A = this chain, B = another copy of it.
């Protein structure tokens, strides 16, 4: 199963991606989590030790040059648009608590004409992960779908857009939905996060009438307190864990191409 998580900055994409990774892994699935948001920190949220020491693939200049034939920053150079990437998941993933992780780094606004060796490598890798890997892939993205394209749209079982009860996150959801339609990606759904009241819930439903809701994650001060105290986030709120488990079940029930359990 391939799940992509997007949404406005700060809505809780990384928390949802982390908790979904944990839930799939605990259920016996082989899980590869992909950090594709340079301003997120999936490694830290998943509890990996020393997340600050992880180098994103986009900053591995020697690797990029080896695979694409051009150094990052080499203006006007020729480089391979389809570099070899199938060995990268094994070579460059880290593992912790049964979850494998790759930190991709920033892709530069694909599709609008910005060509460079880093983008070439990251897009080829994203395509490989989505099309050729037989495991649960959970992709934590920026407020867009830069890592996806027409070739991979059908491989995404669900694009989850996380929203919070605020107008800006709704606007971003519509923008992402438009980008998804442009590449032919149909399987889009939303998850409400930081929901404090029935009013919050109704605000989200009434402002996203055409969207499928996979669930509503409550706001829980326990997460904020755990974060400030630097305690592990993923165990800090039982009510959030329970709701993510419901979202996990909803994902499985709509999945048409079940991934093998490892």
Contact = CB atoms under 8 A, between A and B. Distances in A.
Interface of A: 8-11, 14, 38-41, 44, 71-76, 106, 108-109, 112-119, 142-144, 165-168, 171-172, 175, 199-200, 203, 224, 227-228, 230
Nearest first, the 6 A-B pairs at minimum CB distance are: A9-B9, A10-B10, A73-B113, A39-B143, A108-B108, A114-B116
A113 B167 contact: no
Contact of A108 (B109, B203, B224, B227): B109
A74 B144 CA distance: 22
A251 to B, nearest CB: 25
Copies in the complex: 2
A167 B39 contact: no
A147 to B, nearest CB: 14
A72 B142 CA distance: 22
A145 to B, nearest CB: 13
B74 A113 contact: yes
Nearest to A108: B108
A41 B41 CA distance: 24
Nearest to A75: B115
28 contacts: A8-B9, A8-B10, A9-B9, A9-B39, A10-B11, A14-B168, A39-B142, A39-B144, A39-B175, A44-B167, A44-B171, A72-B112, A72-B113, A73-B112, A76-B76, A76-B115, A106-B109, A108-B108, A108-B114, A112-B118, A113-B116, A113-B117, A113-B118, A165-B224, A166-B227, A166-B228, A168-B227, A200-B228
A119 B114 contact: yes
Contact of A171 (B41, B113, B175, B228): B41
A255 to B, nearest CB: 29
A166 B224 contact: yes
Contact of A167 (B8, B115, B230): B230
A56 to B, nearest CB: 11
A165 B86 CA distance: 41
Given A72-B113, A108-B114, A166-B227, 4 more contacts: A8-B9, A8-B10, A75-B115, A76-B76
